[in-house]
Amino acid sequence: APALALARRLAKLSGMFKIGSQLFTAEGHRAVERIAALGTRIFLDLKFHDIPNTVAGAVREAARLGVFMLTVHASGGGAMMRAAAEAVQSGARDAERPIILAVTLLTSLDRAALQRELHVPLSIEGHALHLAQLARAAGLDGSVASPREAGAIRNGLGPEWVIVTPGVRPAGSVQYDQVRAATPAAAVRAGANYLVVGRPITQAPDPAEAALSILEAMHEG
């Protein structure tokens, strides 16, 4: 109910709402249906990451919900992403399939975590670009990457590749657990097609005013 109430307040300002794992776990497909009924698109961000057959089944069911975009983890590998790309078409309604995106690196990770904990020798930018290239080869439409890697991905994969950037924080705002953040204007200049903004809006005293301010900053970018 709180999510739906907030969506009603922001429906005229936002062209799309992201439904993540917390809300979907609590409400299931009802969350998608009730928020979509407001006339906005849905970005289903569940970051599927499993064996190819399991991910294919999950993607097929997500496509049947009529969402506009959905996500899988690029680190699941090429076979998993190819299975997702094939499944999204078979599950789509009215022959209009969702955009399917590969999550490259979570914006809560920094270079130390990438190298010391995950044992990835590449830089964050280099690894994100590699995963995006792997996703394109598998037949996906775009990738989710922080604003700091968006420029390299745009240059490497060209204008048709869809880039969605989380970790967007207005100037002077708290970053929370997003260690690779940037302002809305910087994210747009880096080449992002879509910006994901959560707590700077949802936790603002006036969410609608905060959303409008971010839209203005995006236009400046």
Instruction: Give the active site residue among 47, 60, 136, 169.
Output: 47
Please name the residue that has the structure tokens 């209009």: 96
**CA 148 – CA 116 distance, rounded (Å):** 20
**CA 104 – CA 77 distance, rounded (Å):** 11
**The amino acid at 56:** A
Q: What size, in residues, is the chain? A: 221
* Residue 4 structure tokens: 């739906």
* Residue 53 structure tokens: 């057959």
* Residue 121 structure tokens: 């020798």
Catalytic (active site) residue 47: yes
Q: Which of 201, 57, 69 is nearest to 144 (CA)?
A: 69
Burial string for 75-88 (b: 16+ CB within 10 Å, else e) reads bbeeebbbbbbebb
User: What residues are paired with 100 via a beta bridge?
Assistant: 70
**The amino acid at 1:** A
Residues labelled as active-site residues:
47
